[in-house]
A = this chain, B = another copy of it.
């Protein structure tokens, strides 16, 4: 029995530098984070991009873990090569086999400390529930989005994204670094409890389920004619209701949210999503009862 083999990734986007900063401090001060005796690897996701302070070189690494990109006869670029390399080095069948991946991101949005879960893998939901129970943080369930695929953590048997903000690209913030540290300790503690069978799962999980993303209002040439309304800036996780202002154009005209059911916006004004034509994503807040098979899926991975 190997127990949990944790892969910690930071700098998957080269201009999100708080995770890499913590890694560098931690490598010099091994006791900086209580790992509860678990095995782990730290890796900079995209070192070439990190070196030049850009999100990526050729394409977004965290959209590059798609099946068709990973096969050898697909024309390769910097990120495709790196994706293959990470799997070879740390994948479940790699040189340093890892079965749980934690990918640490920062965002210019006011997401606070949060987790992102992709689709609905049982082990991910179980692990996320433990962190939520411990820290009370919100979870964004990203699913069913045909335009956003190929996330790193999906290639590991269990994997979550940590998203913390707001922080500017290329800025180190002691607050953000402390939040990462806290959340990593929560991961290690939770996994150790699963391994030693001392864990107590919560009876429910609160998720914010992805429905769709919004773009800024644009004219026929694709030029934005309004920007985010100041009232919604910084209000990630806060429900918007029918009539809530969304956008403001410079004539003073308002664009309002016009649906009956309140929804919860996330990733409001994330700098890097502008090129993806996303100014926020809309989610539905749901409370799910825990499932026994989620727990056993996680236990199986942790105790394999």
Chain A residues close to B by CB (< 8 Å): 21, 24-25, 28-29, 32, 54, 108, 166-175, 177, 223, 227-230, 233, 248, 250-251, 269, 271-272, 274
Partner of A233, one of B175, B223, B230, B271: B175
Partner of A166, one of B32, B168, B170, B233: B168
B172 touching A170, Cβ below 8 Å: no
What are 21 A-B contacts with C-beta separation under 8 Å? A21-B227, A24-B223, A25-B250, A28-B223, A29-B250, A29-B251, A108-B170, A168-B171, A168-B271, A169-B170, A170-B272, A171-B269, A171-B271, A172-B269, A172-B274, A173-B228, A173-B230, A173-B269, A174-B229, A174-B230, A175-B233
Complex formed: what's the CA distance from A169 to B233 in Å? 16
Give the chain B neighbours of A269 by CB distance below 8 A.
Answer: 171-173
Q: Is the interface of A mostly helix, strand, loop or mixed?
A: loop
Complex formed: what's the CA distance from A227 to B18 in Å? 11
B250 touching A173, Cβ below 8 Å: no
A132 to chain B, nearest CB (A): 25
A227 touching B172, Cβ below 8 Å: yes
Give the chain B neighbours of A233 by CB distance below 8 A.
Answer: 173-175
Give the chain B neighbours of A227 by CB distance below 8 A.
Answer: 21, 172-174, 177
Partner of A250, one of B32, B108, B175, B223: B32
Complex formed: what's the CA distance from A83 to B251 in Å? 35
Give the chain B neighbours of A248 by CB distance below 8 A.
Answer: 174
Report which residue of A24, A223, A227 has the largest number of chain B beta carbons within 10 angstroms of its beta carbon.
Answer: A227
Give the chain B neighbours of A177 by CB distance below 8 A.
Answer: 227
A175 touching B230, Cβ below 8 Å: yes
Give the chain B neighbours of A174 by CB distance below 8 A.
Answer: 227-230, 233, 248
Complex formed: what's the CA distance from A239 to B198 in Å? 51
Complex formed: what's the CA distance from A233 to B248 in Å? 30
